[in-house]
Amino acid sequence: GQQLNQSPQSMFIQEGEDVSMNCTSSSIFNTWLWYKQEPGEGPVLLIALYKAGELTSNGRLTAQFGITRKDSFLNISASIPSDVGIYFCAGRPQGGSEKLVFGKGTKLTVNP
């Protein structure tokens, strides 16, 4: 089946640093979503992207839908301790599937 390759698997950064993570696929996706999961909770939607080339911000977070429709990235600027968590990318494959495909997540640790 379709897979998403998410990298890096984990990141250890200092408070104030910028963060970048990405997802790639060998096939085309119509939708890209970025979720954050904190310990003991379910994933929460951060940003949704629906159009190739789309660049969308949510506070200090910025995500882009790649022009080839096979990738997406998420940037976090000026990280703070509450950014800690696991970030997941998810995509909806071309063909209108009602099933999302998830990446394996990027675990972010922010040192104060």
Partner 1 sequence: NAGVTQTPKFRVLKTGQSMTLLCAQDMNHEYMYWYRQDPGMGLRLIHYSVGEGTTAKGEVPDGYNVSRLKKQNFLLGLESAAPSQTSVYFCASTKTGFSPLHFGNGTRLTVT
35/110 Cα distance (integer angstroms)? 18
Q: How far is the CB of 35 from partner 1 (least distance, A)?
A: 8
The radius of gyration computed from the CA coordinates of the chain, to the nearest angstrom, equals 13
Q: How far is the CB of 98 from partner 1 (least distance, A)?
A: 3
Residues contacting 99, CB < 8 A, separation 6+: 92
Q: How far is the CB of 93 from partner 1 (least distance, A)?
A: 12
Sites of contact with partner 1 (CB under 8 A): 1, 6, 30-31, 33, 35, 40-45, 48, 88, 90, 92, 96-100, 102-105
